[in-house]
A = this chain, B = another copy of it.
Amino acid sequence: MKLELNSPLDMHLHLRDGDMMKLVAPLSADSFAGAVIMPNLVPPVSSVEEVKSYKIRILEACGDRVFKPYMTAFFKNYTEEELTQLKDYIFGIKLYPAGATTNSDGGVKAMQEAEKTISIMQEMGIPLLVHGESHGFVMDREAEFLAVYRDLASRFPKLRICMEHITTASAVKLLDEFENLCATVTLQHLIITLDDVAGGMLRPHLFCKPIAKRPEDREALLQAALSGHSRLMFGSDSAPHPIHAKESCGCAAGVFTAPLALPRLTTLFEEHGCLDKLQGFVSDNACKLYGITPPVKKVTLIRESMEIPTAYEAHGQKVVPMDAGCVLPWRLA
């Protein structure tokens, strides 16, 4: 049994840089025709030069694989002139509340400060991609941020706003209130809850931001994905950290899923009898929402078992994937 996906896209991806990028970029390029590349390097990617050179490094790491990096810039108060320069080199601009996640210290401290730039982005048609979390209690952060999305969506009706890596039933609900809102959801948030992270043993390789939420949240996300919600897209938020940064006294946030994302998603959609909705979720929805045409790339999955490696290692880097050592019924051809 085979499943052919046309130009699958990962609409939210962390490739890092240097040796880590050399390890993980080819793994994404083996599965996907393209990905939206997050800009939270140190320092963040925020100028034309940085975008261009990061893109070149990514393409070099991918070798001869067909893979289009949709570059983003780290949100700051860009002037109209800066945005005019950036526009042709980026897919969108990623806004982080300051301190919300890995390497986001330079993020936005108060949304009011960001409005002028957001207004110009709307005029120029540059999508706004948002890490939507408040600085409140960890289980409430996304829900508390929804008021910001509501405010942005109503005041900038022509702005394409993406709620990145949503994790709550409330965010799914909000998606239906505003046509200009769309969202990405990760693999892990369709599968796990806080119980999997901290209900039995504490499992650092399932720890990410936003943190996995309640069963009813997971269920709402899953139903939206399986039902083919047209404004919900797959974005892995695959976020590698070296093993020593995960299995230590202070574990960094991020789940590494890139190399198993498509086999695991195929398994999930098959389990629920919704394989026909997978193409939309991993590509078509994004193409329609953003008006993009990714490189032509057929990715074939076959129904043969795949044992997820206990770790991926190369270039002196070692990263443990989600579900390390588990066996999936599907694998990439």
The residues of A with any CB-CB pair to B shorter than 8 Å are 137-139, 193-195, 197-199, 201-205, 207, 211, 214-215, 246-253, 320, 324
Contact = CB atoms under 8 A, between A and B. Distances in A.
Given A214-B139, A247-B247, A204 B207 contact: no
A218 to B, nearest CB: 10
Contact of A204 (B195, B205, B249): B249
Given A197-B198, A198-B198, A211-B198, A204 B139 contact: no
B137 A198 contact: no
Mostly, the A contact residues are: loop
Contacts of A205: 249
B214 A207 contact: no
Q: Which of the listed residues A193, A198, A247, A253 has the most CB atoms from chain B within 10 Å of its own CB?
A: A198
B203 A198 contact: no
20 contacts: A137-B194, A137-B199, A137-B214, A138-B194, A139-B139, A139-B194, A197-B198, A198-B198, A198-B207, A201-B251, A202-B202, A202-B251, A202-B252, A203-B249, A203-B251, A204-B204, A204-B249, A246-B249, A247-B247, A249-B324
Nearest to A135: B199
A70 B215 CA distance: 40
B247 A193 contact: no
* Residue of A139, A246, A249 contacting most chain B CB atoms (<10 Å): A249
A139 B199 CA distance: 9
B195 A138 contact: yes
A131 to B, nearest CB: 15
Given A137-B193, A138-B194, A197-B198, 19 more contacts: A137-B194, A137-B199, A137-B214, A137-B215, A139-B214, A201-B250, A201-B251, A202-B207, A202-B250, A202-B251, A202-B252, A203-B249, A204-B249, A204-B251, A205-B249, A246-B249, A247-B247, A247-B248, A249-B320
Nearest to A205: B249
Contacts of A204: 202, 204, 249, 251
A320 B199 CA distance: 22
A138 B215 contact: no
A253 B201 CA distance: 7
Contacts of A215: 137
